[in-house]
Amino acid sequence: MKRTRSLIYMSFLTALSIVLMRVMSFRFSIGGIEGIRIGLGSLPIVFAGIAFGPVHGGIVGAVTDIVGYLISPMGGYVPHITLSYFLTGFIPGAITHYIFKSANKYWMILIAVILGQIVTSIILIPYFLFSLFELPIVTTRVPKIFQVIIEAPVYAYLIKVLLELKPFESLGFSNSSQK
């Protein structure tokens, strides 16, 4: 029953991420290629990694990118970006599950989100855009830094609030352990 429930949550989070990322986010082009996307699209991916574990978060991230591309392609398919989305869910999940061994404090979640976003949004995405499309790294990295500064505290707060909700008690999260 727990696996079925986790699979349902993961499917919902994948669908939610696609909608938030492809429809309800602000996109800014740099040199004809999407350089910055500000919104809550990565929140369900990061949440999946923290709530269900790093592999589940990685799967939600990768499936989000692949299905999102099939529904609403923005240029050609780039597997490098799928790897980045996998890591978007995997890294925060690995940090909270294996380093902190819990996600019961805001600062733990914030550190996990920031470290994950540094690796994916600030390091990998600009590098991939440079190596594939020859976009200057500085052109994409600087805006990504501001994006992470804005999004990380919001993500951490929303994840903390979501983990305190009653449906997640069956996953090992409860109101008493979150305080």
Within-domain flag for 67: yes
Phi, psi of 178 (to 5 degrees): -85, -15
- Whether 94 contacts 130, CB under 8 Å: no
CA distance 149 to 156: 12
Q: Quote the pTM value.
A: 0.88
Within-domain flag for 21: yes
CA distance 23 to 39: 10
**CATH at 110:** 1.10.1760.20
Within-domain flag for 112: yes
Q: Which domain holds residue 81?
A: 2-29+40-176
Question: Which residue(s) pair with 30 in the sheet?
Answer: 33
List the pLDDT tens digit at each of the 179 positions of the chain.
678 888 999 999 999 999 998 777 777 776 665 656 778 899 999 999 999 999 999 999 999 999 999 998 877 899 999 999 999 999 999 999 999 998 889 999 999 999 999 999 999 999 998 998 888 898 889 888 988 998 999 999 999 999 988 676 656 554 444 33
The pair of three-digit structure tokens given for residue 162, joined into one six-digit string: 């979501």
pLDDT at residue 33, rounded to an integer? 59
Within-domain flag for 34: no
Residue at 116: amino acid letter:
G
Total domains in the chain come to 1
The DSSP call for residue 101 is S
pLDDT at residue 25, rounded to an integer? 77
User: Cα Rg for the chain, rounded, in angstroms?
Assistant: 16
